[in-house]
A = this chain, B = another copy of it.
Amino acid sequence: MAAKSRPKPDAPDVSDRVSRIREGVTAAILEHRLLPGTKLGEDEIGEIYGASRTLVRTALQQLAHEGIVNIEKNRGAFVARPTPADAREVFEARRLIESTIVDHAVDAVSPAWIDRLQQHLTEEREAELRGDARASVRLSGDFHRLIAEMSGHSIYLGFLKELIARSSLIILLYRRHDTPACGTDHHAEIATAIRKRDKQAARALMLSHLNEIEAELFLKDPAADELRLADVLGA
C-alpha cells in the first residue's frame, strides 16, 4: 500500500520544539503538578525549556484550543478550571463518541492491534501495582486513545484527545477523596470484548465505564463557589 506515499507532513507531535513544550506542560497539568488556575508566564516557561517566547506562545495557544489552558487578553495563560457543567458536557460527549468508536474498533480488530492492547494493559497494571499515580492517569487516558486509533477515524481521534485531556483535569478537580482503584479491570474487560468482536458488550462496557468514572465525581454546582472562595483565600 502506498498509504505513506506522501510524507504525511501533518505529524506535528514529534521532534518539534513547540511540541516538546506543549507535551511538557500537558504532562505537568495532567499529573497534577500544575493546579487549575495557575498562571503560566511566557518567560517562565521559556526559560525552563530554553526557548523564546515565540515558541512558548504557540504552544500555549494550542493548549488553549485543546481546552486545558485559558488565555485571557493582556493577562496571560492559566491552567483551565473546568466547571461542573463543563464536566458533564465532557462526559456526555465521551459517552457519545466512545460508544461509537468501540464499534469501529471491533470492526478493525487484528492480531497486531490485539498485541498493542495487551501490551498496554500490562503497562497499566504495572503502573497500578507500583502505585505510580501519575503514570496511571496518563496510561488510563492512553487506553481510550488507543481504541480511537484502532477505529481509524482521525476526526474522532482528534476530538477524543481533547476530551481526554479535559477529563484528566476534571477528575483531578472533582474526584471524591476516597479513590477506589477502579479503572484497570474495566479496561481489561473492554479489551476482551473487542477481542471477541462482541460489539454490544464492548459498547455496554465502555458506557458503564464512563458512567462509573463520572459517578465518582462530586459535581454539585455549589462546589464552584466553594472553589472560588478557596481560590481567593489561597491566593
Contacts and interface: CB of A to CB of B under 8 A. Distances in A.
A93 B155 contact: yes
A70 B159 contact: no
Nearest to A10: B70
Contacts of A58: 61
Q: Could you say which interface size class chain A belongs to? A: 20 to 34
A154 B71 CA distance: 17
A153 interface: yes
Nearest to A78: B9
A105 to B, nearest CB: 14
A73 to B, nearest CB: 6
Interface of A: 9-10, 12, 58, 61-62, 65, 70-73, 75, 86, 89-90, 92-93, 96-97, 100, 153-156, 159, 163
